[in-house]
Amino acid sequence: MLFLILLISGKAIILERRPAITAVILGLISVIYTFALLKAIELLPVSIAILIFYLFPILTVFILAIFGSARLTTKMIVTAFIVFFGLSLALAVRFGELNLIGILAGLVSAIGFAIVCSISNRLMYDQDSRQVTLYLSTAATATMIVISYFVDDVQFPVTTAGWAGFTFSNILYACGIIGFYISISMVGAGAATFFLNLEPIVVVGAGYVFLDQMISSWQMGGVAIVVGALIYASRPA
């Protein structure tokens, strides 16, 4: 999709060496955090896995602050503790059923995506985000293909409905990720992550509607605290 978009718009496709290498590295990190997130979803209830993953907005701000691209304020630190408290509420309700490996995988996915967002913030400052995303996605895709070749249990859909879901989920994801990196180039990683804060609400609701995963009042309270804190942190001072 990106290749065709750049071709039709008459934009250059080839990046200079340094940003190209950086984009490829971000693609490799994307593979790591994607597998980590999928492992977390496999081992944990999807709502909890996603809540852990959604520590990435606050982690992104911390990373940007460390490298001088954003200012670390008391508001951010307090918000981080509020997020932790909300997350602990969401997790403690069924703590005995939680898998430690799943929790660690969720944390790896959150840290990995935060790193990608933070580096993209600088990389896309003076580069066309679509070029960068093309290199990132190509590197990630090639790596996924190689890994999948050596994995024995790769299975594709066998029904029309399965192929439809498989196809549309990939198309929608592609549109979403292209738009996300465009937003980073326009408003920065800190502000761009704000628009993703509503996604956990959709995911938790989808888990309830489509996967029959029950949500207790304590979990709902934890969800509300986490999402509310992240939205509060993303607002201008």
Q: Is residue 91 part of a domain?
A: yes
- Dist CA 166 CA 186 (whole Å): 31
Q: How far apart are CA 13 and CA 98, in angstroms?
A: 45
Range of the domain at 93: 17-149+157-234
Residues 64 and 55: beta-carbon distance below 8 Å: no
> Token pair of 133, please?
């995303």
Find the farthest-apart pair of alpha carbons in the chain and give their distance in angstroms, rounded.
56
Integer-rounded Cα radius of gyration of the chain:
18
Give the tens place of pLDDT for each residue, 1-19: 888 888 888 887 888 888 8
In a domain, 10, yes or no: no
User: For position 237, what pLDDT does the model report?
Assistant: 58
In a domain, 193, yes or no: yes
184-194 confidence digits (pLDDT tens): 888 777 777 76
Is residue 157 scored above 80 in pLDDT?
yes
Strands (E), the chain: none
Instruction: Flag whether 9 is in a domain.
Output: no
| Mean of pLDDT values over 54-59 | 83
- Here the tokens at position 122 are 């600088």
Residue 185 lies in a domain: yes
Q: Which two structure tokens, joined as six digits, stand for 171? A: 């198309």
Domain annotation covers residue 8: no
- Looking at 124-216, list the stretches that DSSP marks H as alpha helix, in order from N- to C-terminal side: 129-150, 160-187, 189-192, 199-210
Band (45; pLDDT cuts 50, 70, 90) = confident
Q: Answer positive or negative: Cα dihedral of 203, 205, 209, 211.
A: positive
Residue holding tokens 């609400």? Answer: 201
Total of domains in the chain:
1
Q: How far is CA 158 from CA 163, 165, 202, in A?
A: 7, 11, 28
- Is residue 1 included in any domain, yes or no? no
Cβ atoms of residues 166 and 156 within 8 Å: yes
Q: Report yes or no on 110 lying in a domain.
A: yes
Answer whether residue 226 shows pLDDT above 60.
yes
Query: What pLDDT, in 10s, does the model give residues 113-129?
Result: 999 988 888 887 777 88
Q: Give the DSSP letter of residue 97.
A: G
How far apart are alpha carbons 87 and 24 in whole angstroms?
33
Mean pLDDT, rounded, for 33-37: 94
Q: What is the DSSP letter of 156?
A: -
